[in-house]
């Protein structure tokens, strides 16, 4: 594989002629480059008017390589041929170099050029490009490549330092100005023939350095005097080293090269909007500066942005009012590093209500708008603080997190959002501060962490309880003056407080079943009808004890009783063609009964949870940590209203409630999932005691929790 390097434009704020005087002092050897042992002049040409000077040198290098490798190669020194073409008339110097040693095994080409700055004729620009192609090297190709790149990057770093060293040396000698070249005076009769000879000599002896450069790096770097060619160092097509340091940060030479080459490739091939330099850099960092991998994911992202018009989302999309009212997140000043700070009160947010009211797409679009706003704020803070700021800090408050937030479809929506953000906004999260993590948090973390990039996970800082107030806590990252008031700080925070989304804003079950309005949960939920005397039951087989059975269901019609049973033997499967007691199919959903009428409770099966009465309109989420392997039956049973004990007559409320349940029929929509014990090892106590940190979103929120289970009901 050919390794390539392309430098940014490095600017010396000195005239070209003075830079050339400093450059010539590097020869025949340079004490600042220990590996540069010596150089001999092979050939030299000067034009009669002194404008052109071409010199070829043979340079002797002492490469710092293992003795074994040198012994196998049979050499102590490596020789390079360097050809310098100075055009004092155009004020350009083109430098070409290639290896002489092992030229049949290793091919190294380098091209450098010094030119006048296009906007200031008293400044000088420098650029270089190189390529390395190792054909074969006694089986040590990888080692030789690493050694070559190490030495080359080391010398690149020293390049500007060496010129500045010799500039100081010239200044100490009293040389601060070198006059520009001027054509010598000639007689009238000599003008024509002299000019003709000079042009001929130059054409024969001076190579077309611009053409060579174009072949090596893909850019035309002809002299500024050529009117038809682009000027070297123009800000539209080149990156300045000072600009990189100011707006993009300290990059190694190879990182700079990757950025420039990927940016150049985009300019040449991409027909749409070119990403900003800092965003290109994010993709490179996300793939450890592997250009091919970064280019692949960036092209996918550019296509995605174009398809979904993401570039215009801040200007064209208005979030629904329910998001503005109930999405408990917002921007809040900045952290100590100048990064924009985003605050998310996840524990106070009704994630299920938002998904049921809006659907996944609206939530995703809102998260995208937050990320686009984050990019804009990073640019603003870069200007304000005078240093590169390319990411933001997110503060997540988990006070109130409970089993409601582990609603499985909601978690799946979160995973999709994480996937989209990771793919299209890499390296935008500088730090994630997770505060007041309750016991249930490890469960959520186990679910989502596999979908988060390793580089991103290393930026997470998690604090339980009030640990964030101690050493190494929030004050290490955020100034005391801007800590939000809900975290015992002094700053009023405008982030919405969240709360339960009214169920009047939910999409109805009929809308869910409508193909045009169906939510993304269409493949997750199942519908079931529950009749008086005919409960609906589902069978879950557990192989490993301590597995976790999770459920989520909505009572769409009527009141039901929810039970969980365990049996060591499997019940007989219902007959599909039966219309009797075992299986009933209705337009509102299926009804399946598994517990045989001859089975006796306590002998053939046992109850592992106390019955849970669920009213019409309630949403129930919960989990059960199994004690034994075997067969577990989840049952939804018609709830019969108890009669008044004193008179044996039905109460008025009971009569009214019974009238609402036509034909003694209830309807539920449910989703269940079994999570293996290996996925939750070390997190069992979190499931068992999750009721300890239940949300205070609403006084109407109630919970039912037994020794080995946790359920939560919300009603509006």
Read off the pLDDT of residues 192-236 as tens digits, 9 standing for 90 and up.
Answer: 444 444 433 333 334 443 333 333 333 333 333 333 333 333 344
Fill in the DSSP letter of residue 316.
H
Per-residue pLDDT tens digits for 487-504: 988 899 888 888 899 988
The answer to whether 4 and 131 are in contact (CB under 8 A) is yes
With DSSP H G I counted as helix, E B as strand and the rest as coil, what are the percentages for the chain, rounded to 5? 35, 25, 35
Distance CA 341, CA 483 (A): 11
Residue range 82-107: mean pLDDT, rounded: 93
Two tokens, residue 666? 């209830």
What separation in angstroms does the CA of 72 have from each of 53, 75, 105, 139? 40, 8, 14, 11
Residue range 67-80: mean pLDDT, rounded: 79
The answer to whether 617 and 503 are in contact (CB under 8 A) is yes
pLDDT at 190: 52
What separation in angstroms does the CA of 650 have from each of 146, 616, 638, 657? 88, 20, 17, 11
Backbone angles phi, psi at 18, to 5 degrees: -70, -35
Least confident interval from 182-191, 344-353, 654-663, 703-712: 703-712
Q: Is the pLDDT of residue 102 over 60?
A: yes
Distance CA 313, CA 373 (A): 10
DSSP string, 289-301: T-HHHHHHHHHHH
Higher pLDDT, 651 or 450: 450
Q: Over the Cα atoms of the chain, what is R_g?
A: 37
- pTM listed for this prediction: 0.63
pLDDT at 54: 97
Per-residue pLDDT tens digits for 122-136: 999 999 999 989 888
Cβ-proximal residues to 429 (8 Å cutoff; 6+ apart), any chain: 391, 392, 393, 394, 456, 459
Confidence of residue 640 (pLDDT cuts 50, 70, 90): confident
pLDDT at 113: 95
Cβ-proximal residues to 80 (8 Å cutoff; 6+ apart), any chain: 58, 59, 61, 97, 98, 99, 100, 101, 108
Q: Is the pLDDT of residue 273 over 80?
A: no
pLDDT at 523: 40
Per-residue pLDDT tens digits for 243-256: 898 999 999 888 99
Nearest to 247 by CA among 284, 277, 286, 282: 277
pLDDT at 712: 47
Mean pLDDT, the chain, rounded, equals 79
pLDDT at 613: 92
Two tokens, residue 273? 């909007």
Higher pLDDT, 197 or 57: 57
pLDDT at 679: 52
Kindly report the number of other CB atoms within 10 A of residue 702's CB atom.
Answer: 13
pLDDT at 286: 92
Q: Is the pLDDT of residue 645 over 70?
A: no
pLDDT at 574: 65
Confidence of residue 631 (pLDDT cuts 50, 70, 90): very high
Higher pLDDT, 564 or 552: 564
Q: Is the pLDDT of residue 486 over 50?
A: yes
Cβ-proximal residues to 78 (8 Å cutoff; 6+ apart), any chain: 60, 61, 62, 63, 99, 101, 102
Residue range 135-159: mean pLDDT, rounded: 77
Q: Is the pLDDT of residue 675 over 70?
A: yes
Q: Is the pLDDT of residue 279 over 50?
A: yes
The answer to whether 551 and 672 are in contact (CB under 8 A) is yes
Kindly report the number of other CB atoms within 10 A of residue 590's CB atom.
Answer: 15
Residue range 549-571: mean pLDDT, rounded: 88
Confidence of residue 677 (pLDDT cuts 50, 70, 90): low
pLDDT at 494: 87
pLDDT at 519: 34
pLDDT at 291: 92
pLDDT at 633: 95
Distance CA 392, CA 331 (A): 10
The answer to whether 55 and 94 are in contact (CB under 8 A) is no
| Angle value at C-alpha 507, between 506 and 513, nearest 5 degrees | 150
pLDDT at 681: 41
Kindly report the number of other CB atoms within 10 A of residue 17's CB atom.
Answer: 15
The answer to whether 519 and 506 are in contact (CB under 8 A) is no
Nearest to 592 by CA among 571, 567, 616: 571
Least confident interval from 13-22, 146-155, 466-475: 146-155
Per-residue pLDDT tens digits for 405-425: 777 777 778 888 888 998 999
Determine what percent of the chain is predicted with pLDDT higher than 90: 38
Residue range 92-99: mean pLDDT, rounded: 95
Higher pLDDT, 39 or 454: 39
Per-residue pLDDT tens digits for 376-392: 999 999 999 999 999 99
Least confident interval from 84-88, 187-191, 555-559: 187-191
pLDDT at 589: 59
Q: Find out whether the peptide bond into 28 is cis, omega within 30 degrees of 0.
A: yes
pLDDT at 715: 42
Q: Given the structure tokens 């049952």, which residue do they identify?
A: 635
Distance CA 526, CA 140 (A): 62
């Amino acid at each position: 594989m050919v390794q390539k390097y392309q430098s940014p434009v490095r600017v010396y704020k000195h005239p070209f002629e003075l830079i050339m005087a400093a450059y010539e002092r590097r020869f025949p050897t340079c004490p600042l480059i220990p590996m540069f042992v010596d150089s001999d002049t092979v050939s030299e040409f000067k034009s009669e008017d002194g404008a052109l000077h071409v010199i070829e040198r043979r340079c002797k290098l002492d490469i710092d390589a293992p003795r074994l490798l040198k012994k196998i190669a049979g050499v102590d020194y490596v020789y390079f041929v360097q050809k310098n073409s100075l055009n004092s008339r155009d004020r350009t110097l083109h430098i070409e170099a290639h290896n002489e040693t092992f030229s049949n095994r290793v091919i190294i080409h380098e091209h450098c050029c010094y030119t006048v700055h296009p906007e200031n004729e008293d400044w000088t620009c420098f650029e270089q490009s190189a390529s390395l192609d190792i054909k074969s090297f006694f089986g040590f190709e990888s080692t030789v490549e690493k050694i070559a790149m190490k030495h080359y990057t080391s010398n690149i770093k020293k390049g500007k330092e060496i010129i500045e060293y010799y500039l100081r040396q010239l200044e100490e000698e009293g040389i601060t100005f070198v006059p520009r070249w001027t054509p010598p005076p000639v007689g009238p009769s000599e003008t024509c023939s002299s000019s003709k000879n000079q042009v001929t000599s130059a054409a024969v002896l001076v190579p077309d350095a611009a053409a060579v450069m174009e072949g090596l790096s893909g850019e035309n770097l002809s002299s500024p005097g050529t009117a038809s060619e682009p000027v070297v160092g123009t800000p539209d097509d080149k990156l300045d080293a000072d600009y990189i340091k100011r707006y993009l940060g300290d990059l190694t030479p190879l990182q700079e090269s990757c950025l420039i080459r990927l940016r150049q490739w985009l300019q040449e091939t991409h027909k749409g909007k070119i990403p900003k330099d800092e965003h290109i850099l994010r993709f490179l960092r996300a793939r450890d500066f592997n250009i091919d991998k970064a280019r692949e994911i960036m092209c996918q992202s550019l296509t995605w942005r174009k398809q979904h018009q993401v570039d215009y989302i801040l200007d064209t999309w208005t979030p629904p009012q329910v998001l503005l009212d109930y999405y408990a997140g917002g921007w809040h000043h900045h952290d100590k590093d100048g990064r924009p700070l985003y605050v998310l009160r996840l524990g106070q947010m009704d994630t299920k209500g938002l998904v049921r009211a809006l659907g996944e797409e609206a939530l995703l679009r809102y998260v995208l708008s937050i990320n686009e706003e984050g990019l804009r704020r990073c640019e603003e803070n870069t200007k304000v603080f005078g240093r590169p700021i390319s990411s933001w800090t997110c503060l997540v408050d988990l006070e109130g997190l409970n089993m409601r937030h582990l609603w499985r479809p909601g978690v799946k929506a979160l995973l999709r959002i994480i996937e989209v953000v990771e793919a299209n906004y890499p390296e935008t999260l500088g730090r994630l501060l997770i505060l007041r993590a309750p016991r249930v948090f490890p469960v959520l973390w186990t679910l989502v962490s596999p979908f988060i990039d390793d580089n991103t996970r290393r930026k997470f800082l998690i604090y339980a309880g009030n640990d964030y107030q101690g050493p190494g806590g929030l004050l290490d990252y955020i100034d005391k003056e801007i800590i939000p008031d809900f975290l015992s700080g002094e700053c009023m925070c405008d982030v919405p407080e969240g709360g339960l989304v009214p169920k009047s804003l939910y999409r109805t079950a009929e809308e869910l079943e409508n193909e045009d309005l169906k939510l993304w949960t269409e493949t997750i939920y199942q519908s079931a009808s529950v009749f008086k005397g005919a409960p609906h039951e589902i069978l879950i087989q557990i192989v490993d004890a301590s597995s976790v059975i999770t459920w989520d269901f909505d009572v769409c019609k009527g009141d039901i009783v929810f039970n969980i049973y365990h049996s060591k033997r499997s019940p007989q499967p219902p007959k599909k063609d039966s219309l009797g007691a075992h299986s009933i199919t209705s337009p509102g959903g299926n009804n399946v009964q598994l517990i045989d009428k001859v089975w006796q409770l306590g002998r053939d099966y046992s109850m592992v949870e106390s019955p849970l009465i669920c009213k019409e309109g309630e949403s129930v989420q919960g989990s059960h940590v199994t004690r034994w392997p075997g067969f577990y039956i989840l049952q939804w049973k018609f709830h019969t209203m108890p009669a008044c004990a004193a008179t044996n007559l039905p109460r008025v409320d009971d009569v009214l409630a019974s009238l609402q349940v036509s034909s003694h029929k209830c309807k539920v929509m449910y989703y269940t999932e079994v999570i293996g014990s290996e996925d939750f090892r070390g997190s069992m106590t979190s499931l068992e005691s999750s009721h300890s940190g239940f949300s205070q979103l609403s006084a109407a929120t109630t919970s039912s929790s037994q020794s080995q289970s946790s359920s939560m009901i919300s009603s509006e």
